[in-house]
A and B are shown apart, each in its own frame.
Chain A
Amino acid sequence: MSPLASRPTAFVPARWGVLISTQSFFALLAFVLLTGCGPSVNRYLLIEASLRAHDPKGADAIVAVAEKDYGSKSRVLYGMDRGMTLQLAGDYQQSNAVLEQAEEELDRLYTRRIRTETLAFMTNDTALPYEGDPYEQVLINVLKALNYAVLGQWQDALVEARRIDHRLNVLSDRTKEKNAYRDDGFARYLSGILYESTGDVNNAFIAYRKAYESLEATRAWSHTAVPSQLRVDLLRTAEALHFTQELTEYQSVFPTTRWETSQALQQLAQVVVISYNGRAPRKEDQFLDLPISLDALQLVLLNRGFSQSSRHSNRAVDTALYGLNGRVIRVALPRLVPQKTRVPVDRVRLISDNGIRVTLNTELVHNVTAMADKALAERMAGVTVKALARAATKFALAEGATRGAQHAAGKDAAPWVGLLVGLLTKGLAVASEEADKRSWQTLPDEIHLARAWVLPGRYEVQSQAAGGPLDPLNPEAMQTLSLGPGETTVLIQRVMP
């Protein structure tokens, strides 16, 4: 067993309480009742309500109840969502179990089924199994690594660090474009922290260096600067390994950065704070209605209005109108809706038994919204081409079916049979058009990190958003830690919104 023990995190079950809060109970009840009426209810709103009420167990119950609603095509998404809510609820082992299942399912999804692909081409992309974007796949391993670290299973946490490395290496080999998402600064940085916490300084330095290079390379679109703590970590590990050349280089790049030597930190206890801030972006449909005749153009303009946004359209009305007209092709594309957090920095305060106060200010290390934006932008060209091809095929098939039915009906019945079949087939083509709006929505908008070494002892932990007051009713605001020399403690907290 590793000498480095981990302590319960900010989200230990006792702090959240065993019972689900009244607010979450009603949210869960509403969800159970509403799911019976159809899939229109947005479970993520209810999860969010539970998290706001500091009831991650309630949020997890909502995901658990909805397991069947995810369906066989979204097993990976269920694992992702559940893995996150279980982690927030403090059930780290179960969180790892479902995330492991999601990862195995992901592995199986490498092999595509032609039947499923064909069905998706004829209907929409929601018929495809959800694989998640590459950044989401990496986050599966990140969450597992954090779970193991919190449980004090450092060797297992390192297994996840190695898997992250392998996943990113494969991604990097596969992705030719230099500016694309082909490495992950946060995942690399976390791997480095795990390696260093278990005494593997060499691998830690390599991971820090890759994190630095990745963050620098993606800065333009990830909107994430190199955290000041990472600079310190690079200098400290380069010095510990006697990498003189690297140390000189980094010193010239970060001339004002000061650091403590590894030797000086050996007898101290390390605290790592991971803060999940806000909500991940959601996706919505963006409909493009393409008229192929003048009267269809008039209909589309009349239906939409010049300035009205397509997302407010009534799909039932559109289906009937465009089905009757028969000269409108509908294309649905996904659009990202950011839900930015209003918490730029979190502050975690450690107060020792003898009154020493240590304040940790978290730094942005992973901008999930920027990652989602980039992932969608990279896929958009392919999605658009596929959507156009699908819409054209559907229209051609509907047209063929209409003419075939008219021909079969004979001269007298042809007009009304054509109208009826056209309404049905073209209406179906319009109605079935839907963008794939699935994404890992239990993720935060941003992930923040803070790292500090403190004197061993007992500490009271207080958490608050910078500038905001400490809410005494907030159960995540207080907890006690007992830190031993050389130990690493990981604290995980969710800050809403």
Chain B
Amino acid sequence: MSVLHRGQIGLVALAVLSLVGCAQETRITRVDSGVVTDLSGRWNDTDSRIVAESMVKEALEYQWLNNFSSSKHRQPVVVVGTIQNSSHEHINVNTFVADLERELTNSQKITFVAGKGDREELRTERKEQAMYAREDTQKAPGKEIGADFMMKGTIATILDEADGTKAVFYQVDLQMVDLESNAKVWFGQKKIKKVVEKKRSIF
């Protein structure tokens, strides 16, 4: 084998090795959090955000808000209760609740109070303040604002699948319940339908 031939082989081998070294199994691209990323067809951050925005907007446009404000001469106090996951997916309900809470708080049309989990933490903090904090900085118990309404709801799915095509139908039901009378003053519904098609074979 000539020297030139060996050199050529060496160059080709080097090029192959370089290319192999450059090839990446994982590629990461930073995108805006508002960009829709439908990868698997499952419930994702976009669904959570869109549903929360549109449903809170809808809830605040209805008459119950004006009725309450005009009769009580103040903003209603709302707390978010349980959002039940009745779907086929392990949905992180906490992120959806956080989206709802954000939209409710930012609307400036209602007074939003902390939910059950947060309240426990805050009460523990107050108890500890009573023991350890300077007296003039302690926050007294019994001064919490009681909610007038509770927003609660469910996320449910209906699945249909055949021959690699799956139709996923999400239905989010939210309701605003008067905590005094248990009357449902608002009932909102948002539906999302996705069709996931999978090829049976590729090369």
6 cross-chain pairs, A with B, having the tightest CB-CB distances, nearest first: A162-B88, A112-B201, A110-B198, A166-B159, A170-B161, A111-B199
B89 lies within 8 A of A173 (CB):
no
- In the assembled complex, the Cα of A104 lies from the Cα of B157 at a distance in Å of 19
Nearest CB on B from A441, distance (A): 27
B80 to chain A, nearest CB (A): 15
Pair A111/B90 contact, Cβ less than 8 Å: no
> In whole angstroms, how far apart are the Cα atoms of A115 and B157 in the complex?
36
Contact B88 A163 (CB under 8 A): yes
Q: Is the CB of A111 within 8 A of B88?
A: no
Question: What residues of chain A lie closer than 8 Å to B199, measured between beta carbons?
Answer: 111
Whether a CB of chain B sits under 8 angstroms from the CB of A253 is no
Q: Per a CB cutoff under 8 Å, which of A110, A114, A173 touches B203?
A: A114
In the complex, A178 has a CB within 8 A of chain B: no
Interface residue count on the A side (C-beta < 8 Å) = 20
B200, A159: Cβ atoms closer than 8 Å: no
A479 contacts B by Cβ under 8 Å: no
Query: How long is the Cα–Cα vector from A430 to B200 in the complex, in angstroms?
Result: 31
How many pairs, one residue from A and one from B, have CB atoms within 8 Å of each other in the complex?
43
Residue of B86, B89, B162, B201 touching A111 (CB-CB under 8 A): B201
Determine if B161 and A162 form an interchain contact, defined as CB atoms under 8 angstroms apart.
Answer: no
> B80-95 interface mask toward A, CB cutoff 8 Å, 1 = contact, 0 = none?
0000111111100000
Known: A110-B198, A159-B88, A159-B89. A115 touches B203 (CB 8 A): yes
91-111 of chain A: CB within 8 A of chain B = 100, 104, 107, 110-111
Within 8 A of A (CB), among B163-203: 164, 198-203
CA distance A100 to B89 in the complex (A): 11
- Are B87 and A159 neighbours in the complex by a CB distance under 8 Å? yes
B residues less than 8 Å from A104 (CB atoms): 40
Which of B84, B90, B198, B200 is in CB contact (< 8 Å) with A156? B90
Contact B84 A111 (CB under 8 A): no
Sample 24 A-B pairs with CB under 8 A, ordered by A number: A104-B40, A110-B164, A111-B198, A111-B199, A111-B201, A111-B202, A113-B201, A113-B203, A114-B203, A155-B85, A156-B90, A159-B85, A159-B87, A159-B89, A162-B87, A162-B88, A163-B88, A166-B88, A166-B159, A166-B161, A170-B161, A170-B162, A173-B162, A174-B162
* Docked pose: A451 CA to B53 CA in angstroms: 45
B200 & A111 in contact (Cβ 8 Å cutoff): yes
Report how far A156 CA is from B202 CA in the complex, Å: 34
**What's the minimum C-beta distance from B35 to chain A, rounded to whole angstroms?**
22
Q: A110-B198, A114-B202, A155-B84 are in contact. List 16 more A-B contacts (CB 8 A).
A: A104-B40, A112-B200, A113-B201, A113-B203, A114-B203, A117-B201, A155-B85, A156-B90, A159-B85, A159-B89, A159-B90, A162-B87, A163-B88, A166-B88, A166-B161, A170-B161
Q: CA of A156 to CA of B92 in the docked complex: distance in angstroms?
A: 10
Closest partner residue, chain B, to A108 (CB atom): B198
* Structural contact, B162 and A110, CB atoms closer than 8 A: no
The distance in angstroms between the C-alpha atoms of A357 and B84, with both chains bound, is 38
Residues B15-50 near A (CB distance < 8 A): 40
Q: How far is the CB of A284 from chain B (nearest CB, A)?
A: 31
A163 to B42, CA, bound (A): 13
Docked-complex contact A110 and B200, CB < 8 angstroms = yes
- B164, closest chain A residue (CB): A110
A306 → chain B closest CB, angstroms: 44
- CB neighbours (8 Å) of B87 from chain A are 159, 162
Interchain CA distance A113-B203 in the complex, whole Å: 5
Rounded to whole angstroms, the CA-CA distance of A385 and B110 in the bound complex is 70
Most chain B CB atoms below 10 A, which of A100, A155, A158? A155
B103 to chain A, nearest CB (A): 24
Compute how far the CA of A163 lies from the CA of B168 in the bound complex, rounded to whole angstroms: 13
Q: What separation, in Å, do the CA atoms of A112 and B201 have in the docked complex?
A: 4
A128 to chain B, nearest CB (A): 13
